[in-house]
Amino acid sequence: MDVRVTALERQAADLNACGINPAHVVRAALRRATKQWQLEPEFVSPKSDRTAKPSSWRMRTTVAVDVEALTAIMATEDPLDVCSKWSLIRGQLEPLVWMQIDAILVELRQDFDPGERTGAMPQCGRGPGDDVEP
């Protein structure tokens, strides 16, 4: 099944500041999220969180899904088979990708060693309580 994901608007500033191409972070997050993900047979409504605007951050891949789980979702949510399959499963997968983006940003911030890298990396994924003097 074809899936397309991007970062959340709230993640954009940290992605732009982390020193790594934001599209690469989103791609890595998608890979991590889909690695062990299994489609559940219950429909989950997609979250209405605002996504980031750069279309270059939108990642696309194909995932294998359990046919029985998809059939169960379709029976209740799309009995006429008119909706895209992605619209039926995105509520389960997108939040996992967004969680992985957050996790990668934290990892990048923790792995940063000012003696080894330059640029905007110290700002990557900053959160409350991270007010450190340069």
Q: Is the pLDDT of residue 130 over 50?
A: no
Distance from C-alpha of 104 to C-alpha of 84, rounded to nearest angstrom: 29
Lowest mean pLDDT among 9-18, 37-46, 75-84, 110-119: 110-119
Is 28 within a domain? yes
Distance from C-alpha of 89 to C-alpha of 70, rounded to nearest angstrom: 8
Is 17 within a domain? yes
Is 128 within a domain? no
Is 129 within a domain? no
Q: What pLDDT, on the 0 to 100 scale, is given for residue 48?
A: 86
pTM reported for the whole predicted model:
0.80
Q: How confident is the model at residue 36 (pLDDT cuts 50, 70, 90)?
A: confident
Is 73 within a domain? yes
Residue-number span of the structural domain to which 53 is assigned: 2-123
Is 131 within a domain? no
Phi, psi of 48 (to 5 degrees): -95, 20
What is the number of domains present in the chain?
Answer: 1
